[in-house]
Structure 1
């Protein structure tokens, strides 16, 4: 796979402009000031062609990262409730709309876990 100079590419989940080829299989990215401490040269196996729209890009300032460099996702609202019957028990589930993730932004989650982590979502229930 090759990329054109100036193309948008996806590095993990981050699209960047300003791609410059460096050698046969490496590319230099023009990173933002927030990422100054990261080396800007990447092997092509870490890059993917960016097929999304610019509207899908989440500004870096809106992301919350924990000490282990993992994205902290926040739920926006509970859309639906249901009870799922397993072999020997019943499990209460909630359909959650998430704030930041683009697709899919709706997932089924265990209601008791959501109540422990996000009790404010259940204040009106």
Structure 2
């Protein structure tokens, strides 16, 4: 059995930023090039899937994206998200 080391764990109902990577052929969020955002959000964590994956509540604009992300793709939102 394989074990995973997770540096960061998130709680349900936490608000987290989502890391976006500028890859070709992938849905583009915001601007392109040097001014493209590195993180978008914050989005609410709905549930934990296994040890390293989390499902987040995405808005309608990102309905084409999958809603489950690896823990390294999420970043803590400090402060009040509103």
**Once the two structures are superposed, what CA deviation does each residue of 1:15-41 show, in whole Å capped at 9, x if it has no partner?**
012431011100011111111100001
Q: Does 2:54 align with 1:27?
A: yes
Which is higher, the Rg of structure 1 or of structure 2? 1
Q: Which runs of 4+ in 1 moved over 2 A?
A: 52-55
Q: Does 2:17 align with 1:10?
A: yes
Count of residues in correspondence between the two structures: 55
Q: Which has the higher helix share?
A: 1
| TM-score calculated relative to the size of structure 2 | 0.60
**Once the two structures are superposed, what CA deviation does each residue of 1:62-111 show, in whole Å capped at 9, x if it has no partner?**
xxxxxxxxxxxxxxxxxxxxxxxxxxxxxxxxxxxxxxxxxxxxxxxxxx
Q: Which structure is higher in RCO with an 8 Å CA cutoff and minimum separation 6?
A: 2
| TM-score calculated relative to the size of structure 1 | 0.41
Which segments of 5 or more consecutive residues in structure 2 lack a partner in the other structure? 1-7, 19-38
Give distance in 2, aligned partners of 1:28 and 1:46.
11
Alignment of 1:1-125 (within 5 A): 1-11=8-18, 12-55=39-82
